[in-house]
Amino acid sequence: MAAIAQGHQVHPDGRTWKSHFPKGDLWVFGYGSLIWKPPPHYDQRVPGYINGYVRRFWQASTDHRGTPEQPGRVVTVIERSFWETLNDPLAHLESEAASTGKVWGAAYHIPASHAEEVHDYLDEREIDGYSAHYTPFHPTVDVEGAAGSTGPSPIICMVYIGQPTNPQFLREAAQREPQNVAQVISAGHGLSGKGSEYLFLLEKALEGLGLGTADVHVTDLVKRVKAIEAEGLADAEEKEAGLKVTRSLEGEGDESDRENSH
């Protein structure tokens, strides 16, 4: 079924994807949840990267990993030339990384017989501020059926991007601060589960591509969220201890609460 996403008409009659894929088949690049939760009907999954972007958890989520009342955070890619105009505390780490300018992920080939169906599915899945774009994808292995492939050659892929002009992009610099993002991820919960689960799954999915590690932004957020959740566990234990003291002083404690006096 066709959908309308934040004013973006996603109807087959208005699509331009066939101009990029004249054979009717479809290539889709995933840099977030698509890495571990692939689209249906794919017959090839190929690891690789796109150039000229950075991956950031700078997109609010009011559905999958948050709610309209308490938006969570999910990942998008940002054109590197625009990202360089923004204040990013991790910019120095990004410039030191060996894969500068590369966003790693996985591309999926969808045969022509299911291309429209999968496009509909993705339009619905990515409805919260994302729109379809096209960019060269650089596979790390030979791609079956790729035109002129005498080795891993770039191929055009469709990719869903939450652009800075979409309503869910974090426009305020304070919201993009790593600790702020980590706090929101830790608290976020939506239709698809917890925000921290999304982050941890992305980290493991990127490691599973054979890189050995995720990118610096993801690994930094993982450390921050783990620290927040460890602190939260300590807070919960402290609260429980307080309740036990209160119950004990009120004479309501059970035998397990009663310790030998010292």
Catalytic residue among 96, 126, 240, 259: 126
* Known catalytic residue at 207: no
Query: Which amino acid is residue 96, in one-letter code?
Result: E
CB 145 within 8 Å of CB 175:
no
Q: In angstroms, rounded to a whole number, what is the distance separating the alpha carbons of residues 85 and 88?
A: 9
**Looking at the annotation, which residues are catalytic?**
126
